[in-house]
Amino acid sequence: MTDVISDVLNLINETLTAAIVVLTVSFLLYNLTRNLRNRVARTSAIMLACVTVVSLCDALISLRPSAGTLEAFVRLQWIGIATMPTALFHLSDALLATTGLPSRGRRRRAVRGLYLLSVIFVLLAAFSDMIIRPMVVGTRLVNIVGGGLFLLYVVFFLIVTGIAFITIQRARSRCLTRDTRRRMAYLQFAMLTPAFGIFPYSVLFGISETGSVGMLLLVNLSNLVIIFMLLFLAYPLSFFGSHLPDRVVKTDLLRFVLRGPATGLLVLGTILFITPATRILGLPGNSFMPFAVVAVVLVWQWSVALALPWLEKRLIYSGEDDDQLAKLQSLSDRLLTRADLLQLLDAILSSTCDFLQVSTAFVASLSEGSPELVSSIGPARPNAQWLEEESAVLRQLLKNKAASDQPVLEVWHSYWITPLYSSRSVEIDGSTPLIGFLGIQARSRDVVLSSDEWALLGSKAEQAAETLDDMALQSEIYAALEGLLPQIQITRTRAAEVEYRPGREGPVVHAGHEVDREQFIEQVRAALRHYWGGPGLSSSRLLELRIVHEVMNENGENPARALRAVLQKAIENQRPEGERKMLSPEWTIYNILEERFIEKRKVREVAIKLALSEPDLYRKQRVAIEAVADTLMEMESASQ
């Protein structure tokens, strides 16, 4: 009976050891891919790498390789074991620097010296018996004996780990908010668990003594504690260096854990526990295992999809936040892109053509300018130039047609056209505004339709009008968001600047010059897009510029007008000398700025005028906006 329990505990031990590898590698990759520029993220990655090396070697040792390979794995573990105390101190130093107390040189030199000591311990463990001496019999590790310098490592481990704990306590005392103090407390205690979890207790107790049921229970319990502490460790570390709001950081971490490490752990457990089985449901264990793995992954992912909304609501969002985010989520779910709406119009036109047995149909919008061809199908559709030339004729033809429940068809060249009216707005006189028209290929010189065809045409015209209404409304929403989003600057990083006590060198600033420049370019882009009015101009952070205040008197104390004048000057600075040429490469930047933002021409018109493809125009437009932003920064620097 004891042998059976030992085998089960050994299997659980192998599973938990492999689980630690999965978790540490997952969190290591998560840190490196999210905020590698942050010092806390980099130093925590070193600590996670230490745990990964030790746990991976443990997992490989359990596979009972040859004697030489087994001894090599035992010695290789010391890359992580010897480096862990230094990594802890390095992380504590990074945390203290985050709170506003960067090293004056002493801590930096101490970190370098400790890494040097760690390298010495690694070399001694790898190439001599002065730290450890593995005793291997066949493919079995019988014992690990400590060398003459092992106690020196123990002293090194305890002192450095203790100093790291005290350093984090200093960082914790500098936290001003309850949330930051709580996260620092999580780090202070959670980061000690991996360190003491990978400590080489086997050198103190001997491998032969760890084969007992009691020792196996203790080892499994410690592995479980390490797993839970790794999860607690990942939570506070994910906030450092992130520009995202807290709720977004928590949501990303929750989804990552459930879809990444949790899936890997379930697959690992399924493989390890099914492999020893001889038969399951009448099938050999090895044959049943692929089916079981696929089934577990599918069921788990399905369960995560169902549980995530509930988990996010319970663990992350609550009260007013939940209500606000529900409205934002509802807006996101209801909004369609222009491509989606065009696809819907194409479907409306196709079904109209099929029912009326014609080959061509189109929808055009009517705005203050010439009619714009929005969607069309068939070989005989009109082009944009023809619609522009016929603009006056079309408006006169549709002007006196009042909106009604029944569609009205007019003959225009070889088409029958019906007006489209907005259902969301009303003119001053109470009439329904005309927003466009639907055209179909004429089947005869006179309009002849059956009652069913009239009914279908009325339904399709109503759907097309609603789609045009949605296009106009969503364009307004996108324009408002485009103008307002660049002005929102209170990010996770900005919040971190006021969460800790000011340090020796003043408040800690996390955002670098590159991030500031990117934000500045976004504000310039929004201001140019709203050049003639809109939140991108009237609510812009650019209004705080000194050069804008300097021209306020010249612009009637109107901030938006002053900013427009400054933007105009920055655009004029992009103008080359000589006569303006539309197709000359050196005039491209200026022409794009003039045509797109000052003249407010559409992308297609400007692309044709400048002989550019639309993708090429978008690329050059980004360059033009950056040029204006750089000019504004130079003008601001020169005014100081």
In this prediction, residue 113 has a pLDDT band, given cuts at 50, 70 and 90, of very high
172-205 b/e (C-beta count within 10 Å ≥ 16 → b): bebbeeeebeebbebbbebbbbbbebbbbbbbee
The pLDDT, as a whole number, for residue 87 is 93
The pLDDT, as a whole number, for residue 153 is 92
What's phi and psi for 168, nearest 5 deg? Answer: -70, -35
Domains by residue range for the chain, with CATH: 2-242 (1.20.1070.10), 244-330 (no CATH), 338-480 (3.30.450.40), 513-639 (no CATH)
Among 187-191, 510-514, 574-578, the least confident range: 510-514
Give Cβ neighbours of residue 464 (< 8 Å, ≥ 6 apart): 345, 348, 363, 420, 436, 438
In this prediction, residue 383 has a pLDDT band, given cuts at 50, 70 and 90, of confident
Among 1-5, 117-121, 443-447, 526-530, the least confident range: 1-5
Average pLDDT across the chain, whole number: 82
Burial tier of 476 (Cβ tally within 10 Å: 0-12, 13-18, 19+): exposed
The pLDDT, as a whole number, for residue 513 is 40
Of residues 346 and 387, which shows the higher confidence score?
A: 346
Residue with tokens 């520029």: 37
Of residues 360 and 541, which shows the higher confidence score?
A: 360
The pLDDT, as a whole number, for residue 142 is 61
Give Cβ neighbours of residue 387 (< 8 Å, ≥ 6 apart): 364, 370, 371, 372, 373, 394
In this prediction, residue 161 has a pLDDT band, given cuts at 50, 70 and 90, of very high
Q: In the predicted model, is pLDDT for residue 511 greater than 50?
A: no
Give Cβ neighbours of residue 405 (< 8 Å, ≥ 6 apart): 458
Segments in 260-377 forming alpha helices (H): 261-274, 285-315, 319-334, 338-356
- pLDDT winner (highest mean) among 4-13, 314-323, 506-515, 527-536: 527-536
Q: Is 550 helix (H, G, I), strand (E, B) or coil?
A: helix
Percentage with pLDDT > 90 across the chain: 19
The pLDDT, as a whole number, for residue 224 is 83
Q: In the predicted model, is pLDDT for residue 281 greater than 50?
A: yes
Mean pLDDT of 600-625: 87
In this prediction, residue 166 has a pLDDT band, given cuts at 50, 70 and 90, of very high
Q: In the predicted model, is pLDDT for residue 431 greater than 70?
A: no
In this prediction, residue 632 has a pLDDT band, given cuts at 50, 70 and 90, of very high
Among 226-240, 458-472, 488-502, the least confident range: 488-502
The pLDDT, as a whole number, for residue 520 is 86
Mean pLDDT of 275-303: 80
In this prediction, residue 82 has a pLDDT band, given cuts at 50, 70 and 90, of very high
Residue with tokens 């203050």: 368
Mean pLDDT of 158-179: 89
What's phi and psi for 568, nearest 5 deg? Answer: -60, -40
The pLDDT, as a whole number, for residue 627 is 92
Cα–chain-centroid distance for residue 521?
20
In this prediction, residue 159 has a pLDDT band, given cuts at 50, 70 and 90, of very high
Q: In the predicted model, is pLDDT for residue 387 greater than 80?
A: yes
Q: In the predicted model, is pLDDT for residue 201 greater than 70?
A: yes
pLDDT in tens, 322-356: 666 677 677 766 777 778 888 889 999 999 999 98
Of residues 512 and 131, which shows the higher confidence score?
A: 131
| Direct distance between the N- and C-terminal alpha carbons of the chain, in angstroms, rounded to an integer | 84
CA distance 112 to 90: 9
CA distance 383 to 47: 65
Among 86-95, 329-338, 486-495, 597-606, the least confident range: 486-495
In this prediction, residue 515 has a pLDDT band, given cuts at 50, 70 and 90, of very low
Q: In the predicted model, is pLDDT for residue 545 greater than 60?
A: yes
Q: In the predicted model, is pLDDT for residue 157 greater than 90?
A: yes
The pLDDT, as a whole number, for residue 164 is 92
Among 87-91, 218-222, 349-353, 481-485, the least confident range: 481-485
In this prediction, residue 490 has a pLDDT band, given cuts at 50, 70 and 90, of low
In this prediction, residue 302 has a pLDDT band, given cuts at 50, 70 and 90, of very high
The pLDDT, as a whole number, for residue 406 is 59
The pLDDT, as a whole number, for residue 508 is 47
pLDDT in tens, 8-39: 777 787 788 888 888 888 888 887 777 677 78
CA-based R_g, the chain, Å = 35
The pLDDT, as a whole number, for residue 223 is 79
**Rounded (5°) CA angle 42-20-46:** 15
Of residues 494 and 202, which shows the higher confidence score?
A: 202
Mean pLDDT of 407-426: 83
Of residues 220 and 509, which shows the higher confidence score?
A: 220
C-beta separation of 375 from 349 below 8 A: yes
Q: At residue 410, what is the residue type? A: E
Closest alpha carbon to 76 in 45, 49, 60, 53: 53
The pLDDT, as a whole number, for residue 421 is 87
What's phi and psi for 393, nearest 5 deg? Answer: -60, -45
Return contacts of 586-592, CB within 8 angstroms, 24+ apart.
Answer: 588/612, 588/620, 589/620, 589/623, 589/624, 589/627, 590/624, 592/617, 592/620, 592/621, 592/624
Give Cβ neighbours of residue 36 (< 8 Å, ≥ 6 apart): 42
